[in-house]
Amino acid sequence: MSGICLAAKLKHAGVPTFTVLEKATDVGGTWRDNRYPGLRCDVPSAFYQYSFHPNPDWSHWLSSGAQIHNYIRTVVDDHGLREHIQLGVEVTCAEFVNGVWRVQDSTGTVREADFLITATGVLHHPVLPDIPGLDDFAGTKFHSARWNDTVSLADKRVAVIGTGSTGAQLVTALAGRVAHLDLFQRTPQWILPLPNWPTDPLTKRLRARMPWLMAAEYALIKRAFALFSTALISPGWQRWLVESLCRAHLYAVRNRELRRTLTPDYQPGCKRLVMSGGFYRAVQRRNVDVVTTAIAHVEPRGIVTADGRLHEADVLVFATGFDAHAYLRPMELIGPDGTTLAEVWRDGPRAYRTIALPGFPNFFMLMGPHSPIGNFSLVAIAEAQSDHIMKWISAWRQGWFSTAAPTAESTAKYNTELRRALPGTVWASGCASWYLGTDGSPEVWPWTPQAHARMLADRHVEDFHVDTEPSAVKVATE
């Protein structure tokens, strides 16, 4: 999604030569990879879209994954991006040599570029649980991001491991379709009831005929999410409101014991909030069990918990998330002095203002470390970062500089300010989550998304090593 965003902005700016390398055989990122039942975006459709390509035909308040994937494909075609995209090309290494980036793929092919931008996403590398005996299971097993479409789940006994957003969506979608469903819960999640209204035909017609209506809808939802983000970064009535809504929603669970089982012992927002209006109904069905006893091992017939009980299953589904700290890895990055990304990130991913790295000239990241990736529209974040990167590319095309990279000092100062702001956020309130780095500190943006956009509105040239040798007016060569 973010790579297509930048590609469209390059196209709109009249940049003649740029190439998008994609290791998969289709565009779409996470909306291509994830196809599991019940998949929906938990950000309203009117906000989860490119501002330069509004879509009046969203079928629901929250769109399905398939609909978003089709939308992204449409954007690619309508903006003439296909000719710039090379599919099935996996980048393995990029090295800055003699003023250009030499980008190598898995076939050994080397391309040269004046700018290198990574748009590899955040939740991209699936994580499988380390459970003894997984290979002994006699049924079918797969990660939610590698959904097996050939397996019919009707009348099957299904075990879902994981209770994040994916687990909640899967349980909600599958509970009425399978013979029995066991949800293995290690930690309960806070559920915020977000309705998903269908879009009526009149609304679609009004959106299409009055573009300002969609712009106003976008702005209104953006403002509402700004209010929500305030609840995450500092105590106040906004945080109280979010917690009250979550706690009130728990009473949709009528059974007291089950309600206690589903009640977290941490503040709402410490882990990524799950948005669902149907999860609590699903787990109260007679054919659904929430299992909280720890998993001991897997045997051919199913899952054995620590109390010795066998939970028989035909299908195991791992809703166990992703490596949220990989970013562009396993791709290797090598700077002009031989410094590697592995060395720079030895103690964890760090960046300059979420988009650049010291020692790596003319290199930028979309969705880099500490980007505002929580319960917010990543499309809006991608646009803010892409607009910032375009400012640098525009200045380069005008010959104002040849190479630029943030200084180590400015990067260290920025990260110090960032770390100082983290203790007051809800993510640092005491829970284990994928937001935390190896040192236990949250790797998140500790201010509002609006503050992030304001920060990127300026190039902050004073924070960069800039070589002012005149540059050729080109962006990429192959």
Residue type, 364: F
Q: Outline where 398-436 has alpha helix (H).
A: 408-421
* 260/262 Cα distance (integer angstroms): 5
Record the pTM. Answer: 0.93
Mean pLDDT for the stretch of residues 294-303 = 97
pLDDT for residue 130: 92
Helix, strand, coil percent content, the chain, rounded in steps of 5: 35, 20, 45
Residue 356 in this model has a pLDDT that exceeds 90 = yes
Specify the CATH architecture of the domain 2-123+325-477: 3-Layer(bba) Sandwich (3.50)
Report in angstroms the alpha-carbon separations of 112 from 46, 56, 362, 474: 38, 40, 13, 12
Bridge partners of residue 317, in order along the sequence: 142, 160
pLDDT for residue 234: 82
* 177/38 Cα distance (integer angstroms): 12
Say if 2-123+325-477 and 134-215+232-318 have the same CATH topology: yes
Other CB atoms closer than 10 Å to residue 394's CB: what's the count? 13
Other CB atoms closer than 10 Å to residue 120's CB: what's the count? 20
Identify the residue with better confidence: 122 or 58. 58
Mean pLDDT for the stretch of residues 253-265 = 96
* 229/273 Cα distance (integer angstroms): 12
Q: What angle do CA 416, 384, 59 make, to 5 degrees?
A: 130
Give kind and range of the element (H or E) at residue 343.
helix 341-344
CB 42 within 8 A of CB 194: yes
What is the C-alpha radius of gyration for the chain, rounded to an integer number of angstroms?
23
What does the block give as tokens for 397?
């095309």
Residue 443 in this model has a pLDDT that exceeds 90 = no
pLDDT for residue 283: 97
Non-local (6+) Cβ contacts of 113 within 8 A are 19, 100, 101, 103, 475, 476, 477
pLDDT for residue 237: 87
Specify the CATH architecture of the domain 134-215+232-318: 3-Layer(bba) Sandwich (3.50)
Residue 476 in this model has a pLDDT that exceeds 50 = no
pLDDT digits (tens, 9 = 90+) for 30-59: 999 999 999 999 999 999 999 999 999 999
Residue 409 in this model has a pLDDT that exceeds 90 = yes
Residue type, 152: S
Q: What angle do CA 23, 406, 339 make, to 5 degrees?
A: 60
CB 403 within 8 A of CB 361: yes
pLDDT digits (tens, 9 = 90+) for 310-329: 999 999 999 998 887 888 99
Burial 166-177 (b: 16+ CB within 10 A, else e): bbbbbbbbbbee
pLDDT for residue 474: 42
Domain boundaries, the chain: 2-123+325-477, 134-215+232-318
Q: 374: closest CA among 269, 223, 455, 220?
A: 269
Identify the residue with better confidence: 422 or 231. 422
Residue the block writes with tokens 């030569």: 17
Residue 223 in this model has a pLDDT that exceeds 90 = no
pLDDT digits (tens, 9 = 90+) for 162-177: 999 999 999 999 999 9
CB 241 within 8 A of CB 158: no
